[in-house]
């Protein structure tokens, strides 16, 4: 039966052998956290871009209503838009 001192020495040696693995684990946890934060940021960016796209499509839909180009009005202020202004806004 090993003595208490031998058991302590074996346990200490085993712990020293685990230190690199513990450091690797800590680094992996940090990388996972960074990736999670980045994913949340990108999801937020994606939602904002989708919202902006919907807004733009809605406004372009208002400009592209059936009718003569002379009858088109600005969807924001209601002023009459000429054909050149309408084309400019559609391309912007």
- The predicted-structure confidence for 44-79, as pLDDT tens digits, reads as follows 999 999 999 998 888 777 776 655 555 677 767 877
Query: What is d(CA 89, CA 53) in angstroms, rounded to the nearest whole number?
Result: 15
pLDDT digits over 4-24, tens only? 888 888 889 888 888 999 999
Q: For 34, phi and psi rounded to 5 degrees?
A: -60, -40
Give this prediction's pTM: 0.55
Quick check: 88 pLDDT over 80? no
């Amino acid at each position: 039966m090993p003595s208490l001192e031998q058991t302590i020495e074996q346990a200490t040696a085993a712990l020293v052998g685990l230190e690199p693995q513990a450091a690797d684990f800590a680094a992996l946890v940090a990388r996972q956290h960074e990736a999670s934060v980045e994913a949340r940021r990108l999801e937020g960016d994606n939602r904002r871009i989708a919202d902006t796209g919907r807004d733009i499509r809605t406004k372009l839909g208002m400009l592209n209503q059936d009718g003569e180009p002379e009858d088109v009005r600005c969807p924001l202020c209601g002023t009459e838009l000429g054909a050149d202004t309408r084309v400019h806004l559609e391309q912007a």
